[in-house]
Structure 1
Amino acid sequence: MLLSWKNKKIRKAVIPAAGFGTRFLPETKAMPKEMLPIVDKPTIQYIVEEILASGIQKILIISGHAKRAIEDHFDSSPELEQHLEESGKEDLLAQIRKISDIKVHYVRQPYMRGLGDAILCAKEFIDDEPFGVILGDDVVYTGDGEPALKQLMDRYYETGSTVIGCQVVPEDKVSSYGIIQGEETENPDMLRVLDMIEKPSIKEAPSRFAALGRYVITPDVFDILEMTRPGKGGEIQLTDALRVMAHAEKVYAYNFKGKRYDTGNKLGYLKAMVEFALRREDLGDQFREYLKNLKV
């Protein structure tokens, strides 16, 4: 039987952004971690821009407690726009208007019950279509190359199956991630997923393909999530649903190209801040010189 979502284009993407951000307390007591700036742009704006650059226009942010700042950021700001216009700051005005032109939808996750539960909140928005997912604190720099999500979308169009975004990590890092157990395909950068093992030891790790915060998922995941029982901490995990899918149908893991920053932890955030600043034409040279002469 032909599934109703087969041959449909990927038109929608979901950003789960409802977590408390406890690793950045006390800053995140009132400020969403997704709004922490990388130089002068909120982390979540990098995520949204990747989605738009991948050709997706319909974006849903899964929000939660104390996340109003995210909605305000993508909303219009008439007073600020008027001030910038009167001050002759045309470049800044254009940037602000470009942000508010982005069409973002929101749904609230009432309780923090895991990533799987957050994805379930998107069921009505997705409406039986394949869709992209990017975690709200996971930034990937690809320079002039294809956005990471677009790379996964291309693999979806080749296979018609769910694709998990991965990167090959060093052996001493496998115990920090969910690791793919899979079989090789004709593409050396892609595995067919047989199972996923959460934070294995080096000896137990079946590969070095680590799942890293990007997915293209078929809508049959919602039926599986609705049947998935809460695990540790009462949370419904997306990984558990993907494992069920992998046992029932083809699911792939793709080693996407690009430098990934986990801005959800302090060291990853600091690395992103420094490296994005060094890439800036207006800051890079001066900042590089400052770092060379820095004595602490």
Structure 2
Amino acid sequence: MAAIIQQAVILAAGLGSRFAPITSVIPKPMLPIGNRPTLDYVIAELLESGIKSVIIVVGHRKEIIQTYYQDHPFIQFVVQEKMNGTAPALYLAKELLQRGPFALCYSDEVMAGDPPCTRQLIDVFNRLGTADVVTGIEAVSEAKIRMYNSVAFHEFGEEIVQLTDIQEKPQGPYPSTYTAIGRYVCSYRVMEHMDAMNWDERGEGTEVYVTDVLRELMGRGNIYGVKYAGKRWDTGTKEGWLDTNIAMRDHQTRLWPDAKL
């Protein structure tokens, strides 16, 4: 039976240091694309994918995000006080999640696809039936692999692969030029796995990534990648943010502008 996936977590707590000094005033997820904050496009994608409840993990300049969305009853917030990585940020949402599968989004990646990226992943998650995680993957340049992550996989078909390794920001040899993008559909087993993880044991200043959790779970062989059919913009870099605004200006793509938020 297909899972009804109605909850999502958005990670939006980062400092946005690459956009300093403007991010000392405006949190990076609220930087505009056209006349709307980046975060609007992520939420709109989720709504068009069937999500009914959104949990946003906030941190830096959190009051701006909380005030902007205060009239949206389907949005809840949790606060990441310590900037110790994306995995601890996700774990903070545990108490607001039901014990079922959920979507996970990074707030600085904007997608355009039909169906929406999250909907594509939900459909594959339900089709497989036994996945711990389904993520989108795409081929990128070597320079971007070193900024993002690199995945190893087998059984590559037209759409779905089984992931066997993932390396975060590899500076040496890397498995492939495919990277896992900032969209996931996760079973609740991801949260259960993180129950046993002690973030403080990893040393002061050490960041733990969602990809670290995925790598530990890969021994089960239930992590899958979907070759993403659509466009992705990394608005976490100045170049990517400008490219996204240019795409909007030139009407090169539809970034869910009509969603009612």
Fold match (TM-score > 0.5)? yes
2:84 matches 1:113: yes
| Contact persistence 1:31–1:67 (CA under 8 A) | no
- Equivalent of 1:169, from 125, 140, 156? 140
Relative to structure 1, the CA distance from residue 111 to residue 175 in structure 2 (aligned partners, 3 Å threshold; closer, same or farther) is closer
Which of 1 and 2 has greater Rg?
Answer: 1
1:17 aligned residue: 12
Unaligned runs of 5+ in 2: 254-261
Alignment of 1:63-142 (within 5 A): 63-76=58-71, 100=72, 103-142=74-113
| Contact persistence 1:225–1:238 (CA under 8 A) | no
Q: Distance in 1 between matches of 2:2 and 2:115?
A: 22
2:10 matches 1:38: no
RMSD: 2.1
Instruction: Give % identity.
Output: 33
2:155 matches 1:189: no
| 1:7 to partner: Cα distance | 5.0
Q: Structure 1 stretch 45-54 or stretch 271-280: which is displaced more?
A: 271-280
| 1:256 to partner: Cα distance | 1.1
Counterpart residue identity of residue 23, structure 1? R
| Contact persistence 2:164–2:221 (CA under 8 A) | no
Unaligned runs of 5+ in 1: 1-5, 77-99, 282-296
- Equivalent of 2:169, from 194, 199, 218? 199
2:30 matches 1:29: no
- Equivalent of 1:255, from 227, 246, 253? 227
| Contact persistence 2:162–2:221 (CA under 8 A) | no
Relative to structure 1, the CA distance from residue 189 to residue 176 in structure 2 (aligned partners, 3 Å threshold; closer, same or farther) is farther
Secondary structure at the aligned position of 1:211 is classed as strand
1:234 aligned residue: 206
1:97 aligned residue: none
Counterpart residue identity of residue 152, structure 1? L
Counterpart residue identity of residue 123, structure 2? D
TM-score, normalised on structure 1? Answer: 0.78
Task: Report how many aligned residue pairs link the two structures.
Answer: 248
| 1:197 to partner: Cα distance | 2.0
1:288 aligned residue: none
| 1:258 to partner: Cα distance | 1.4
Counterpart residue identity of residue 61, structure 2? A
Relative to structure 1, the CA distance from residue 252 to residue 106 in structure 2 (aligned partners, 3 Å threshold; closer, same or farther) is same
1:49 aligned residue: 44
TM-score, normalised on structure 2? Answer: 0.88
Q: Distance in 2 between matches of 1:22 and 1:32?
A: 10
2:29 matches 1:58: no
Counterpart residue identity of residue 57, structure 2? I
Q: Distance in 2 between matches of 1:123 and 1:27?
A: 31
Relative to structure 1, the CA distance from residue 10 to residue 150 in structure 2 (aligned partners, 3 Å threshold; closer, same or farther) is same
Counterpart residue identity of residue 137, structure 2? C
2:256 aligned residue: none
1:85 aligned residue: none
1:5-24 Cα deviation digits (max 9, x unpaired):
x8532110000111111111
| Contact persistence 2:167–2:211 (CA under 8 A) | no
1:86-113 Cα deviation digits (max 9, x unpaired):
xxxxxxxxxxxxxx4x621111112111
Q: Distance in 1 between matches of 2:79 and 2:232?
A: 27
* Greater RCO (CA < 8 Å, at least 6 residues apart): 2
2:243 matches 1:271: yes
